[in-house]
Chain A
Amino acid sequence: MLFGTNLLMAQTPAAAAGTGEDANQVDWTGVAYYVLIFFLICLGVAVIGKILKIYDLSLKIQGKKGLKWNNVMGVVCLIFLVAGLYGAYWSFTVQGCMTLPESASIHGVKIDEMFTVTTILTMIVFFITQILLFGFLFQYRHSEKRRAHFLPHNNTIEKVWTIVPAIVLTILVVFGFFTWQKIMDDTDAKGEVASINIDITGHQFAWELRYPGKDGKLGPKRFDLTTAANKLGVDFTKKSSFDDLSADTMYLPVNRSIKLNIQAQDVIHSVYMPHFRVQLNAVPGLPTYFKFTPTITTSEMRHRLDDPKFEYIVYCNKICGGGHYNMQKVVRVVSEAEYLEWLSRQKPYLTDGLKKELHFADAEPQKAVSQNRLALNN
């Protein structure tokens, strides 16, 4: 094994060595120190084992019965139960408070309600069954005087504990099913204000954002049109493409329905915005959509959490390569007015470089874009 790794090391360029010989020196005394500690612990365990054996033997020599390990283990089970219950309680109260803040979207509130109901139900079962399990272990630990109670089955109680979980789960399923269907419905209902379409595209290891211009429509994309200037492969034979805007931060107007158009260019990514309870994979070749309505602005959330640095974020939640752990973008929820003001400052997707590449007689699209910006300023 060592030989193999040495070989591998030899093959690698010596670039690593240049970054500091000292840092790469193994502190063998430190390693030896830990190994020694481990051996001392092992020795300690062995000594305790021997002492127990001698104690056991001495008891037997005196004509008593040896150590009753069944009793010892029964008591340890009871101690574990008490310590475990306290640990679970501590974990719930301390770490439970470190979890996500309240949902910042309409559908998220429903998810949170269902989460609370499920938590209460499952925690009741958790505590009861664990208490019974370890309680029984202590209560019915081995005794020479007793015989176990011969009870092969009891149809009544078995029916009860089949039917009761079935009913509870049915309730959870029915609620879950309808909530899920509603959340996943990404079409705008009749009479509803049209959602704002935002295009989010993942690639190794960043997100690209594209906002529609004044026509409110995103231009279509084709992967085979992708070039260095046309990063997303927007199809400029279609009119709706010309006024599209690119952005660095995802700004969302509060209380407006947003429809994310989610795509990936190279491998699967996942758009994860936990504060809004939004997640959907970005799959190459399969556009997906998630519709949601943010309800709390960034500044309001900062106020509520008493954290002036708080930001909503969107990050990748599907393993996508070495940079997976740092593929994020800031999301800002703002008022409608702020949103429009911000949008008016965004650059058009159709850059000069792209125009050159597409051999546009630049007069017409140039005009369209500038008009668009004017319109937004008003």
Chain B
Amino acid sequence: MSKATTKSKPRARQTAVTKKVERRVRQPKAALRSEAFARALADAKVQANNPERLRALFEEAARKAAAVPKEPFEDSWPYIQAMLRLIRAYFRGEYRNVSHDDLLWIITGLNYFVDPFDLIPDEVPFLGFVDDATVMQFAVGRTRQTLDDFMTWEITAF
């Protein structure tokens, strides 16, 4: 009996510490585990094959991008704008050089961005777009090569 307690004590302490550290590490990525993100990804799978829905998403996201504060997004901002232009070129059929996975990440990012009721509702002052920035940075990180290629195409093709 006593042996069992001495054994379980350090283990219990250890798991408590790991949990704490884990929580701290995972906190910034909470947006990526949110229901809103899961919803954005599930919707993206349907939208990817539907030019009309992509157009609607593009128009909503472009309108919103023109109105929101840019500071939370830092240097990923031009890439977010590139995502918008890529989606527009994609549904117009001008540009198709994007893998299905990358297309999904881009649509997911934009879905999360336009959703006003995501993890931290967008109307919350100062914080409303922090979770959007996390999601967008993640999506940009996944698709940077595609976005760079698209921007190179933009300056060489027209």
| B partners with A | no
Taking beta carbons and an 8 Å cutoff, which residues of A are in contact with B? none
Taking beta carbons and an 8 Å cutoff, which residues of B are in contact with A? none
